Structures are given as C-alpha cells and as structure tokens.
Amino acid sequence: MKKLINRAEDVVREELEGFAAAHSDRVKVSLDPYYVMRADAPVHGKVAVVSGGGSGHEPMHGGFVGMGMLDAACPGEVFTSPTPDQILAATKAVSGGAGVLHIVKNYTGDILNFEMAADLAKEDGIQVEAVVTNDDVAVQDSLYTAGRRGVGITVLAEKICGAAAEAGRPLAEVAELCRKVNSNGRSMGMALTSCTVPAAGKPTFELAEDEMEIGIGIHGEPGRERRKLATADEIVELLATTVVDDLPYRSGDKVLAFVNGMGGTPLIELYVAYRALDRFLKGRGITIERNLVGPYITSLEMAGMSITLLKLDDEMVRLWDAPVNTPGLRWGV
C-alpha cells in the first residue's frame, strides 16, 4: 500500500483537522463525535439538511456543507456509515426549529444508523424527515437485494434541496422535492482499477490490466459484470444506454448530465467521456440543460467514472442555479 498518510487509523481525524484548518471561514468541525457543520449554524427558522456516510468519497459529504447546500455532514470511518450518536449530535447542532431533513444513501448500514439517530432526535423533540436516495441502475433486481444504491443523485439532491431550504421552504416540501429529484435521477458507474481501504492495506478486489468492472459501487465493492476494457466512447454508450432506458429519458427531455470521477481518473479523461455523453444524448434528442463534470462522489483512488442523469423541470433548474458556497461546490457568491 502506497498512500499519503501518517497512520491508517488516523486518516479520518487528520483529514477533518485539515479540512477545518482550510475552510474555517465556512465550516466548523466537531472531532468528538465527528461532524462538519455550517459556520453560522443553526440558522433559525430554516430547515436543516443533514447527510453523511462513510469517508473516502470526498468531497462528498463534508465538502458540500455551507450556504445553499448542507447544514451538516457526518463522516464515518472509510467506507463505513457514521454512527447514531454522531448523526444525533449533528442533527441537534444544526436544528433551527424548522425541522431537519436527513438525506441517506441506500446502504443497509447508513439506513440503520440514520434510523436509530432519527428515533433519538424525535425523542428530543426535533422533527426529522428522512429521504433515501437509490439511483444506481446497476442493481437490477431490487426485490431480491438491499435495493438500488444511492450514488451520484445524492450530490444533486443535496444541492437542490439545500437551495430550497435556504429559500425558506418548509420541511415537508423540501423532503418531497428530494424524493422528486431522486425519482427523476439514474446513475451507473464503472471502474478501471480497484482501491485500497487504508486500514485494510490491500486492494478490495483485483482487476487485470485489460479488464474493467461495470456497475461498480462507490465502496470498491465489485460490480455486477467484468468485461474486457473498451474505448471511452464504448464505455459511455454502455452506461448511458442503461441509464437512459431505465427511467426512461425520452426525446425532448431536459436533463442535468453529471460525469463523475471515482477519484483516480483525471479531468482530461472525464471530458473525453463528457464529449461522448453529449453526442449520445443529442442522438437521443435529449437536451443537456445543465452539467457537472469532476470528482464529486469518489471511491478513494479508484480509477473510473459514473454517469448520472436528472430529468429537470424549471423549479429544479432555478434551485440548481441558486448561490452555493461550500468547499466542494461554489457559484453565485
């Protein structure tokens, strides 16, 4: 294992200390228990939006804390969901009296820990609504599995719901909007290489030089199919076809197209992929109204990418364009 770290067991804490030092203008970091919150939290009378998940996906979620997006984020250990005491502490710290929305990616651990935290917060008199994201079309048979995973749409839902909360919308509406974003979003990812969890010290799985993993999750968990390596155009067509046919997205639809890097793939390759996606969607008569290209929901140093599409309406476009000031996403300020 070759990593820019000190000790494997200190990675999450030291990352948070560095994050706090770098972004103290916008965020405050609690180290016991771990959470990141807006520097000006709690914002009175505003719905607070809280998310969280395992570390190793940076900038998600801590990098999306700030005006116009998340009020707090709870990082777990690498690829391990946060614990209920953390989520409860973060929920209490940012609660401004208008309720708290938990945005939870669909993984068994995340669901169980957020559910326990929500039960405890309700006992403390805080109104909590939870919305689960599950946009990963790689999981085919949801009836016989833990269901589709929450991946790229989570970033878009956090931005759009954060803007709605900032605009003063009530909890029920922000939660409904989150469900709408999730149900109009679909994603699929692929990997060129594996990744190494620092505490494990060796790659989670092995991929030969001429192989790729299709349908990869964001935790280095193997995908559903291993194939011979193909060109960027072929890979994008494979992923985009599966994504487009799933919702389905139809000719005339306006979408937000999100090409996400898994952590080890440079922007030069992500733009090669975006070029292919742009051409593919034009061929299907689908208009890219907004886009996002870059590493926003990563899997440590894994090379690979994912494609997320979100079918937009005018309200979602307005909320996407609204000002946001976080370490990971920033515009309009």
Partner 1 sequence: MGAGYPQCLAMVRGFAKAVAANRDYLTDLDAKIGDADHGINMDRGMTAVLPKVAALTDEDISGLFRTVAMTLISTVGGASGPLYGTVFLQLSTSLKGEVDVGPSEWAAAVTAAVEAVQSRGKAQPGDKTMVDALLPAAAALRQHSEQGSSLAEALAAATKAAHDGMEATIPLVARKGRASYLGERSAGHQDPGATSSWLLMQAAEEALAKGN
**Residues labelled catalytic:** 57, 219
- Selection from 179, 183, 150 nearest residue 164 by Cα: 179
197 contacts partner 1 (rule: CB under 8 A): yes
Interaction mask 271-310, partner 1, x per CB under 8 A: ----------------------------------------
Exactly one of 99, 162, 220, 328 binds partner 1 (CB under 8 A); which one? 220
Rounded to an integer, what distance in angstroms lies between the CA atom of residue 194 and that of residue 303?
Answer: 7
224 contacts partner 1 (rule: CB under 8 A): yes
In the complex, minimum distance from the CB of residue 327 to partner 1, in angstroms, rounded to a whole number: 23
Rounded to an integer, what distance in angstroms lies between the CA atom of residue 166 and that of residue 40?
Answer: 13
- Selection from 262, 259, 332, 255 nearest residue 297 by Cα: 262
Task: Count other C-beta atoms under 10 Å from residue 20's C-beta.
Answer: 16
211 contacts partner 1 (rule: CB under 8 A): no
With contacts defined by CB under 8 A, how many residues of the chain interact with partner 1?
38
Rounded to an integer, what distance in angstroms lies between the CA atom of residue 18 and that of residue 58?
Answer: 13
Exactly one of 33, 233, 318, 330 binds partner 1 (CB under 8 A); which one? 33
Exactly one of 20, 200, 272, 317 binds partner 1 (CB under 8 A); which one? 200
In the complex, minimum distance from the CB of residue 205 to partner 1, in angstroms, rounded to a whole number: 7
Exactly one of 15, 176, 211, 221 binds partner 1 (CB under 8 A); which one? 221
From 59-67, 161-169, 193-201, 233-241, span contacting partner 1 (CB under 8 A): 193-201
From 219-227, 250-258, 264-272, 322-330, span contacting partner 1 (CB under 8 A): 219-227
CA 241 to the chain's CA centroid? 22
In the complex, minimum distance from the CB of residue 111 to partner 1, in angstroms, rounded to a whole number: 8
User: Where do we find the tokens 């909590």?
Assistant: 128
Contact 87, 142 (CB under 8 A): no
Rounded to an integer, what distance in angstroms lies between the CA atom of residue 83 and that of residue 114?
Answer: 8
Beta carbon nearer to partner 1, 224 or 279? 224
Strand pairing report for 254-261 and 287-294: parallel
Which helix (H) or strand (E) covers residue 38, if one does?
A: strand 34-38
- Selection from 218, 49, 69, 196 nearest residue 130 by Cα: 49
Exactly one of 205, 278, 284, 290 binds partner 1 (CB under 8 A); which one? 205
199 contacts partner 1 (rule: CB under 8 A): yes
Rounded to an integer, what distance in angstroms lies between the CA atom of residue 189 and that of residue 262?
Answer: 9
Stretch 68-97 residues interacting with partner 1 (CB under 8 A): 76-86
265 contacts partner 1 (rule: CB under 8 A): no
Exactly one of 24, 145, 287, 291 binds partner 1 (CB under 8 A); which one? 145
Contact 229, 269 (CB under 8 A): no
CA 30 to the chain's CA centroid? 21
Beta carbon nearer to partner 1, 206 or 321? 206
1 contacts partner 1 (rule: CB under 8 A): no
What amino acid occupies position 94? V
> Peptide bond before 61: cis, by omega within 30 degrees of 0?
yes
What residues line the site for partner 1 (CB under 8 A)? 33, 54, 76-86, 107-109, 112-113, 116, 138-141, 144-146, 149, 197, 199-200, 204-205, 217, 219-222, 224
